Amino acid sequence: MSISKVAQAAKNGFAMYGSLAKELIAKHGGEIVYEAVEAMGESSGPVYGEWTKLGAEKYAEQLLASQQAGGWDSEVKVDGGKVTLINHTCPCYSGMREAGLSHEQAKNMCYSWWRRFPESARKVNSSIKNFHIEKYRSNESDYCLETFELEK
């Protein structure tokens, strides 16, 4: 499958995710949706924690492969123990916006996923110093920066 087909398939999947979130927000409010997304991020953390045990270079390779397989146009930079992920495109953001979520709602979904993710990763590998979103996109054509810092 070509990269553009993977990206479109991922966007379609995230549009379904966004549609569900939109309906739940309308019926029950954002709080319950964002809490559920926090739990999703928390359950994903241990996988990333395991990857970090490989060291920054191998972690960066694994992270990039994962992003590309999921439809993101991304690149990674490694500086010592710091891995910076640059997401030029984001099928998650595009899909959620296509489903009718506002920019702020899509941003809240992303930040909610990250809220408990770093601590759950740290439970698997205590050498993780910090995982955070350094820059969130301002629109679909912008980019995001995510930083993963590991002890050397």
Q: What is the pLDDT of residue 116?
A: 94
Instruction: Sketch out the chain's domains with CATH numbers.
Output: 3-150 (3.30.1380)
Computed over every residue of the chain, the mean pLDDT equals: 95
Phi, psi (degrees; rounded to nearest 5) at 5: -70, -40
> Hey, which bits of 1-152 come out as E strands?
73-79, 82-89, 128-135, 144-150
Which residues of 19-66 form beta strands (DSSP E)? none
Q: What is the pLDDT of residues 14-71, one digit of tens each?
A: 999 999 999 999 999 999 999 999 999 999 999 999 999 999 999 999 999 999 999 9
Cβ neighbours around 93 below 10 Å, total:
26
Per-residue pLDDT tens over the stretch 116-132:
999 999 999 999 999 99
User: What pLDDT is stored for residue 96 in this prediction?
Assistant: 98
**Cα separation, 81 vs 57, whole angstroms:** 8
B/e letters for 125-151, b = 16+ CB within 10 Å, e = fewer, are beebeebebeebbeeeeebbebbbbbe
Chain position carrying tokens 């820059």: 135
Residue 79 to residues 17, 57, 96, 124: CA-CA distances in angstroms?
Answer: 34, 9, 32, 22
Order of all β-strands in the sheet with 128-135: 73-79, 82-89, 144-150, 128-135
What confidence category does residue 151 fall into, taking pLDDT thresholds of 50, 70 and 90? Answer: confident
Q: Is the pTM of this model over 0.85?
A: yes
